[in-house]
Structure 1
């Protein structure tokens, strides 16, 4: 082995993540309990009403179609760059690098938005038992940013344990509440007469599908952690499918029980007129004050697990680009003891804290800022899924292989149709998605500007640094 090969091997991440370690990271990223309490009433009230459970099933089916091509591509492009690597392999290095910068900015927006939501949630907690009372939102956000920075410095298995514990508790309390609703018979018996095919297309089906698909964003993390996975050829595809199926079951069953718990008419009324309190109120109806207290605690742990998961994903994107030489090589150094991308993680922590300080001094209203950043980041990840699907189709058209057309062309083509329709609906409703048309346009300018910058930068690298250009997309490391 040459000295260069030894150096490259030393830069590789290592780990022993199992299927469920990765699954828990993905599910923690999506913060299921937060979605159940905060988003289900929105989908019912602003979307297609009582057809919301079917919307989640349809969104889950679309994600499974996407996953067919995504996991098939993973076997032929065994790199940890996920969308970045796949778009490069299928559509070229220029668009691949542009998509990587776009993904990094999207995850940064999502991380900052999540920290703003941390502040909103925890600022209601009184610390009178230690003589402090309630703290302002920004103190909570900065404190959690420091804690996540510390965890991100260590081996990924430590973060995985934290995420697993938080997620298991979330899922248990969710199913306990659902069991209580079903055992009690709901508000008006367990009749399903209201769940008809017609309700699927009632109200605003466009917004419903848009919000539903957004809830599944981020499962590319299954491929981002490839280098740290145990037997990735098996672990990554298995974790991808389990994650999507688990999210579909959790979201669809919770929406169904939300409607049963209130009763169809009351569920519509509460979702339209009081969406911010409807989720917690129906939990209190069946689990009482003790259950609500537990849920409040788990919502806090859910949000913490979410920011930790996003931090780890973003750090590994930066690590991948630095290994390729696109970013500073010093960011690709792996910690000798913890085997973590600690410098990339440290950079994410610095960016996070500086962004929060900028938000504090600019007087950003935290909840409005959260809604705008999360909305536009979800939209961007949807665009990246479309590019990835096109890349899968093009890659397998150009590459001879023995994989069936169903996996390489038919399923990706169906996914492309569904994702494109969803993106069109998202574009038509971009103001509702972010809370402000003007803010949406500014954020979109940054995101598509990052795509263009990456494409131009790749062209420049082709002339000035051909070896770095060849490595784009984790193609030659």
Structure 2
């Protein structure tokens, strides 16, 4: 499949038909906006805590959240090279801080010896599995974002694929090692209690105790910048999805407008910032907690959306090669791997939705357990309906879905499969 702006959107359109692609794009927008906006709650809370603890400056969490939104909004309309540089520097420093924590933890294990109990797979299948899956999947949200930048690199086929494989492998290994380090530092039996009581402080408390307060403070600042980097990254991803949909006229054409000097998707960037502002203000007016509610709820919504997207994309691979029998790939690539991925991802999706209530704080309204995961279903249904409307009323636009065409024409070949018939 060709790699385009829109990533999952283009893949689904290429394998399951253009109406399916539009449905996927709406799911993607819901999922990526959810995680991006939810992170403003986390950002506001951690910055507020740091400023109060270290400098005695007390402000509501939303003051810091809106400050972060302003910074992200400005960077979002600047050129991609600047954004890439900012993200690369922050990522390097954040990884270094986590490495320091890992070294300190393994060098000072609870009980005097390193325990491997934290790596026991049997501990995974316990109460709260839905929360574990949701937040774990949310940590990987955006792993495919390299495809979104495919039109901005010289060799997208090689560069994007390599970057994606490396990102998934490194992230998975690094997360696993660091999670194990946390259980070593607290003791496996105490990890959950310590995390509930101290939150992120369990990491910085360990650093302060064994490496000094200076190291702990630097690590905390890097934690703040890591959240800011994630905000910027997801913001850019959403902006480029909006750009792709605007360019293909699936959404209003103004979304395809770019900066005159930078070439960045300025209209999409501004649109995402306005949407984020509206949601954050709504949570403030409703007096909801920035982490327990804003961050956790929207992270769960994002996780459901991303797993659904991956499931549809895996199924789309089967459809893509079914329509192109002349493409020379082996049976594993053509059929076995994508079918296996589709089945397993669908199973994860079911477990995640059924156990979604594990994400909700005690006393939360019960309807949230189906309302929140239902957001992506509503988005997908709306996208499918809109795709069918485009097919009936705007065939030239419909014919260009998933192709990155600026000015679609009615003479383009229609190659539907399941959802576009």
Q: Distance in 2 between matches of 1:195 and 1:445?
A: 33
Contact 1:210 1:425 in 2 (8 A): no
Matched, 1:229 2:153: yes
Cα drift, residue 257 of structure 1: 1.4
Q: Distance in 1 between matches of 2:64 and 2:31?
A: 23
1:472 aligns with one of 398, 401, 408: 401
- 2:25 aligned residue: 100
Contact 1:166 1:301 in 2 (8 A): yes
Cα drift, residue 178 of structure 1: 1.6
- Over 3 Å counting, the alpha-carbon distance change for 1:418 and 1:145 in structure 2 is same
Classify the secondary structure of the residue corresponding to 1:134.
Answer: coil
Q: Distance in 2 between matches of 1:295 and 1:195?
A: 23
Aligned residues: 400
- 1:411 aligned residue: 337
Cα drift, residue 259 of structure 1: 2.0
Cα drift, residue 413 of structure 1: 2.4
Q: Distance in 2 between matches of 1:216 and 1:272?
A: 22
Q: Distance in 2 between matches of 1:273 and 1:315?
A: 37
Q: Distance in 2 between matches of 1:340 and 1:100?
A: 20
- Over 3 Å counting, the alpha-carbon distance change for 1:455 and 1:228 in structure 2 is same
**Pairwise mapping of residues 367-378 of structure 1 onto structure 2 (< 5 A)?**
367=291, 368-378=293-303
Contact 1:316 1:344 in 2 (8 A): yes
Contact 1:118 1:140 in 2 (8 A): yes
Judging by fraction of residues, say which structure has more helix. Answer: 1
Matched, 1:453 2:382: yes
Cα drift, residue 115 of structure 1: 1.0
Gaps of 5+ in 1: 1-75
Cα drift, residue 391 of structure 1: 0.7
Q: Distance in 1 between matches of 2:3 and 2:121?
A: 44
Q: Distance in 2 between matches of 1:83 and 1:171?
A: 28
Contact 2:128 2:355 in 1 (8 A): no
- 1:82 aligned residue: 7
- Over 3 Å counting, the alpha-carbon distance change for 1:442 and 1:191 in structure 2 is closer
**Pairwise mapping of residues 48-447 of structure 1 onto structure 2 (< 5 A)?**
76-126=1-51, 133-182=57-106, 184=107, 186-191=109-114, 194=117, 199=122, 203-204=126-127, 206-207=129-130, 208-267=132-191, 270-271=194-195, 277-367=201-291, 368-400=293-325, 401-435=327-361, 436=364, 437-447=366-376
Q: Superposition RMSD on alpha carbons, in Å?
A: 2.5
Moved more, 436-445 or 227-236: 436-445
Cα drift, residue 459 of structure 1: 1.4
Q: Distance in 2 between matches of 1:331 and 1:253?
A: 41
- Over 3 Å counting, the alpha-carbon distance change for 1:141 and 1:227 in structure 2 is same
Classify the secondary structure of the residue corresponding to 2:386.
Answer: helix
Question: What TM-score do you get using the length of structure 1 for normalisation?
Answer: 0.77
The superposition leaves residues 93-121 of structure 1 with CA deviations (integer Å, 9 ceiling, x where unpaired) of 11210121121122222222111221111
The superposition leaves residues 393-447 of structure 1 with CA deviations (integer Å, 9 ceiling, x where unpaired) of 2211221211122223222223223212211110111111354442243334443
Classify the secondary structure of the residue corresponding to 2:250.
Answer: coil
**Pairwise mapping of residues 8-47 of structure 1 onto structure 2 (< 5 A)?**
none
Cα drift, residue 242 of structure 1: 0.8
Classify the secondary structure of the residue corresponding to 1:124.
Answer: helix
Q: Distance in 2 between matches of 1:196 and 1:377?
A: 26
- Over 3 Å counting, the alpha-carbon distance change for 1:92 and 1:255 in structure 2 is same
- 2:415 aligned residue: none
Contact 1:108 1:314 in 2 (8 A): yes
